[in-house]
Amino acid sequence: AKFIFLVEPNVDAILDGIYKAVEGVVTGTRASAEECNQFVRQAYNWTQVAARTEKVYSAITQTKIPPLQKKVRNLWECGRIAGPIMGVLYLACHYWCIFLALWSHYVT
């Protein structure tokens, strides 16, 4: 808690976190440079970062991607007006990306 100030993502909370951090420096109540360096060395070494990244990638690659029909159906059911609009926009973007991919292969 003395190394990292977690705050809500809004202006007032961010300012409050900055004020607390600066106050710790001014009053001398923050951790020493050696303690901060040791914390960073332990928390952010490349082996641990790589292990955490590998866990995230493994979880993502094991997640089953829903078919296009299910994605559009979920959007369509978001509301009487907004749902169909979002579904049609999603399909338009989907097919536009396919067209661009095919066109780029044709042109090059």
Q: What is the 3-state secondary structure (H, E, C) of the chain?
A: CCCCCCCCCCHHHHHHHHHHHHHHHHHCCCCCHHHHHHHHHHHCCHHHHHHHHHHHHHHHHHCCCCCHHHHHHHHHCCCCCHHHHHHHHHHHHHHHHHHHHHHHHHHC
Angle (nearest 5°) at CA 7 between 36 and 55: 70
pLDDT of 1 strictly over 80? no
Q: Determine the length of the chain.
A: 108
Per-residue pLDDT tens for 2-46?
Answer: 677 788 989 999 999 899 888 888 888 888 888 888 888 887 888
C-beta of residue 24 within 8 angstroms of C-beta of residue 32: no
* Average pLDDT value over all residues in the chain: 89
Write down the pLDDT at residue 79. 93
Write down the pLDDT at residue 2. 67
- Range in 2-6, 56-60, 70-74, 97-101 the model is least confident about: 2-6
Write down the pLDDT at residue 35. 85
C-beta of residue 94 within 8 angstroms of C-beta of residue 71: no
Residue 47 has a CB neighbour count (10 Å cut-off) of: 7
